[in-house]
Structure 1
């Protein structure tokens, strides 16, 4: 649906107008639930932001991570970081507050979530292709140059930003309210069908790629073990990297597939499905996925976990040094003050003694 300036398009209406048409008001949070969700969500989002910053910093500071796979992994952490920002913005612009939002602010709120999801999905697809190329060439890391990796990262974010802004650019139902969905009252049902089906197809493609890679690597490993008598620890490194990404992909699919299925049912205008009941639980699953990813990186990759621990120790030692330096400054200032007071007292006593002798 193309956006136009026709009088029948209620662009100046607040979101309460569209929520009432979609019957979303009957499933809104009450004040107590909203406060609990905001507190719990703030803790989760704080962890998401800090943990993904540590992952990105670990890749930048550790030279052992200066390979295409880890650059793309840090870009995946950046998309999770954006997701954390999007969840914070969503939590404090939901409930009764959401009814007062303008159309533009609502598109911005949903666009942040869509961009972060698109970026995560695109990153996982690029990582899958990078792993496929490297494994089929019997290498731990691919021969992608930094320039090509940079171009891939720019391409990922370009596509993600475009996908997140498509509803605002025109594929919405503001001028055709009868085509609006229930879960996202400004999004047309046709857009939800396109969004959910395309993402589910990408899930299947990535799962099939990783299954092919895993089967190939396991066969190669069996052959190498049969023909080599030495240690094969260095040959297990590709398997470790693949297991890390497969775990991330598995968590992503488990956390997002229910939401995509519900969006598809909403797009198909399923009247019996009662999709509004699942709205809050689907959001909780999405937050859980962004919480799990940095944990998976550190749990599956010992080098990553060691680097993150060293970073945290550096931060803690830095704060301790700052505290100790502040304490030393305070002690020195207190010592100087007491010394000056003693000197002043001594001088005063000398003056008073001289005055007494003179008198």
Structure 2
């Protein structure tokens, strides 16, 4: 067992030589700050107190945890590997497994939530907070199980010939299973986003007589661009690592996976930095909240100015941003809702569907940013009911 860890130590020393400490620290700092800002913004701004944002906040927490786990790996690799006990080695690997599994599971949960809201023509999911909390607990439960399985059940302590070369003490069969599970997650995500795209494209054609061809093409193009970013980031960040695990699991030492497995881990960790950019930082409302948070932090250093209050950020949600989730009390508001929506950060593309004005940008804003919304303004139907 000790010989297996020592063989891995030599590779760790090469890894430390290839990746200097300064770039690693810079990468980890950006990863931690980006995800931490997302979590703070969602907590402080009531505009983001909806299921989709809770899931995004949980994904940011998982990605933040991934950064911490990666930092722990860097501090316990190379010449320090030989000083680790078997339990410490398992903990080091479990932290990586838990964080990355939770991050990928969150990506799938966000895709399912978007599919539900878009196909049911809702602004936000109708999931209760209790169900959202239950979903988040399940996500972390899956991650913890995947992190504990190698140390408790699926290892090669009794069969050293079955040990992995990139993760000593891990069974090669477990690596194959973990890689296959992540590939399955990707294919499910691809199927979900493909269905969303087909649905929106069909609706665009169905109502094309009420919209210009340019608007229709722009809506489809923006959606396609967004889906490409979401799936493309997953493929770029995860494909090298998953292929490496599969080769190691199938070929063992003949795969020469040690030559590049550390680079694959760095690329996979990059997904934790890309996620907040794709899902949160491109949201204009989120960026405004970030600026307010930074302003509050700057004011704390000025003794002459008052201490910032969360009320400045925790502003009530305007009626025009609620969409279908709130009915206007005055029927006249229905006539002027288009004007009011111009002040909203997301630019909607109008479509008429069965007497209902459907504004669908799905995920995109006027500046190409990604919005987690699909907004439906029921102008005529609401006015008729009032």
- TM-score calculated relative to the size of structure 2: 0.72
Could you tell me which of 74, 78, 95 is aligned with 1:95? 78
Instruction: After TM superposition, list the pairs within 5 Å mapping 1:1-359 onto structure 2.
Output: 13=2, 17-20=3-6, 23-30=7-14, 33=17, 37-227=20-210, 247-319=229-301, 321-322=302-303
Q: CA deviation at 1:38?
A: 2.4
Cα distance in 2 for residues equivalent to 1:297 and 1:142: 17
Work out the CA distance in 1 between the residues paired with 2:288 and 2:205.
30
Structure 1 vs Structure 2 CA RMSD: 2.8
Q: Give the direction of change, closer, same or farther, for the CA distance of 1:178–1:221 in structure 2 (3 Å limit).
A: same
* Counterparts in 2 of 1:247 and 1:261: CA distance versus 1, 3 Å: same
Superposition deviation, residue 245 in structure 1 = 7.1
Contact 2:197 2:223 in 1 (8 A): no
* Cα distance in 1, alignment partners of residues 132 and 278 from structure 2: 23
**1:212-233 Cα distance to aligned partner (Å, 9 max, x none):** 112212332343453258xx89
C-alpha contact (below 8 Å) 1:128/1:206 kept by paired residues: yes
CA displacement, residues 190-234 of structure 1 (integer Å, 9 cap, x when unaligned): 1111111111111111111111112212332343453258xx89x
How far apart in 2 are the matches of 1:31 and 1:258?
17
Q: How many residues align?
A: 304
Q: Would the alpha carbon gap of residues 323 and 286 (structure 1) be closer, same or farther in structure 2, given more than 3 Å must change?
A: farther
Unpaired runs of 5+ residues, structure 2, are 307-386
Shift of 1:166: 0.5
Partner Cα separation in structure 1 for residue 265 and residue 56 of structure 2: 24
CA 1:322–1:248: 2 relative to 1, 3 Å: farther
Q: Distance in 2 between matches of 1:278 and 1:67?
A: 41
Q: CA deviation at 1:294?
A: 2.1
CA distance in 2, matches of 1:137, 1:215: 15
Q: Which has the larger radius of gyration?
A: 1
Is this contact kept in 1: 2:9–2:82, CA < 8 A? no
Choose between structure 1 and 2: higher helix proportion.
Answer: 1
